[in-house]
């Protein structure tokens, strides 16, 4: 399915609207203490609502019609995608050479009680480090991600992430990043160093050939 002209902005807005509804559902479903009967009724209604969406789906190697891979539009990215049920979503922008990210994590991201799961922090950092290396002009895939957890990351608290490239060594790009709360940007909660590797043409073709061949 492809849409252009006025159809594409409308479709993207609709996907983001559905994503927002799904995130509300995930938050409520994770936090709920509703009666058991209400939970059973909700499960049935949700299955009914989901069914028509499954009538036409894309295959593994098909890009979403609303996405623009080369333009960086990925509505279902699990970290930044506004159409994703799982994404916080993290919003990233640039301030000079530094990537800045903001998000707030709800119950679904809980690890230790009332704090974020450590893997979620690593996921957020991988994404923003990847963004920093991409916009620096040296896109690559993560080959190593080292995370240091200095203090627990609180749920329901606006967070601030940073990332910047620190070294480019041939095909290897190193970037570092941090997570703090928005209110206390000097109090480090998590830090990470990521190593990214620019793909050789043969590697890009082997890994992404089926996707590139079908998109656009
Ligand atoms: C406006 C637009 C915005 C867009 C935003 C987009 C944001 C996107 C954000 C996305 C964010 C999410 C991102 C994700 O989630 S990416 C998903 C997670 N990552 C992966 O799945 C990658 C899996 N790895 C591989 O497939 C291979 O390792 C690849 C193909 C990458 C390299 O193949 P290979 O392994 O055969 O290597 P090579 O022979 O080519 O050599 C490569 C060079 O690298 C060195 N090396 C290798 N491993 C390591 C290591 N661990 N530490 C240090 N160095 C390492 C190696 O020694 C060599 O160096 P040198 O000997 O040449 O000096």
Q: 141-197 pLDDT, tens per residue?
A: 999 999 999 999 999 999 999 999 999 999 999 999 999 999 999 999 999 999 999
Write the CA distances from 95 to 92, 98, 132, 162, 164, integer angstroms.
Answer: 10, 5, 11, 10, 10
Listed in sequence order, the DSSP H helices in the chain are 7-31, 36-50, 118-135, 201-214
- Could you tell me the pTM of the whole model? 0.94
Neighbour-count burial of 130, counting CB atoms closer than 10 A to its CB (0-12 exposed, 13-18 middle, 19+ buried) = buried
Ligand 1 and 195: CB distance under 6 A? yes
How far is the centre of ligand 1, averaged over its atoms, from the C-alpha of 171 (Å)?
Answer: 9
pLDDT of residue 134: 97
Higher-confidence residue of 120 and 211: namely: 120
Query: What tokens does 103 get?
Result: 């998000």
Residue 4's pLDDT band, with cuts at 50, 70 and 90, is: low
Q: Could you tell me the fold of the domain covering 91-205?
A: Thiol Ester Dehydrase; Chain A (3.10.129)
How far is the centre of ligand 1, averaged over its atoms, from the C-alpha of 60 (Å)?
Answer: 22
| Nearest atom, ligand 1, residue 203 CA | 30
Q: Does the pLDDT at position 22 exceed 90?
A: yes
Q: Is the ipTM above a cut-off of 0.85?
A: yes
How far is the centre of ligand 1, averaged over its atoms, from the C-alpha of 181 (Å)?
Answer: 29
Q: What is the mean pLDDT of residues 57-81?
A: 95
Nearest alpha carbon, ligand 1 atom 57: 172
Q: How many residues does the chain have?
A: 216
Ligand 1 and 178: CB distance under 6 A? no
pLDDT of residue 213: 78
Ligand 1 and 197: CB distance under 6 A? yes
Residue 30's pLDDT band, with cuts at 50, 70 and 90, is: very high
Domain boundaries, the chain: 91-205
Ligand 1 and 69: CB distance under 6 A? no
How far is the centre of ligand 1, averaged over its atoms, from the C-alpha of 93 (Å)?
Answer: 23
Residue 202's pLDDT band, with cuts at 50, 70 and 90, is: very high
Best CA proximity match to 190, nearest among 132, 145, 131, 135? 145
Query: What tokens does 112 get?
Result: 């230790």
Ligand 1 and 142: CB distance under 6 A? yes
pLDDT of residue 212: 83
């Amino acid at each position: 399915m492809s849409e252009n002209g006025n159809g594409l902005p409308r479709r993207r807005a609709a996907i983001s609207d559905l994503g927002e509804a799904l995130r509300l559902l995930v938050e409520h479903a994770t936090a709920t203490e509703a009666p058991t009967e209400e939970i059973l009724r909700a499960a049935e209604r949700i299955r009914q609502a989901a069914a028509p969406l499954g009538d036409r789906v894309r295959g593994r190697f098909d890009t979403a019609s609303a996405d623009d891979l080369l333009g960086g539009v990925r509505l279902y990215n699990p970290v930044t995608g506004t159409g994703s049920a799982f994404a916080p979503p993290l919003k990233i922008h640039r301030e000079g050479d530094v990537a800045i990210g903001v998000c707030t994590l709800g119950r679904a991201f809980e690890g230790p009680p009332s704090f974020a799961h450590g893997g979620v922090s690593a996921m957020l950092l991988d994404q923003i480090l990847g963004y920093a290396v991409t916009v620096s002009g040296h896109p690559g895939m993560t080959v190593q991600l080292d995370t240091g957890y200095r203090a627990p990351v609180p749920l329901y608290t606006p967070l601030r992430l940073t990332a910047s490239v620190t070294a480019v060594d041939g095909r290897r790009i190193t970037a570092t990043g941090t997570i703090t709360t928005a209110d206390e940007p000097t109090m480090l909660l998590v830090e990470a160093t990521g190593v990214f590797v620019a793909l050789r043409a043969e590697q890009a073709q082997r890994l992404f050939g089926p996707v590139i061949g079908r998109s656009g």
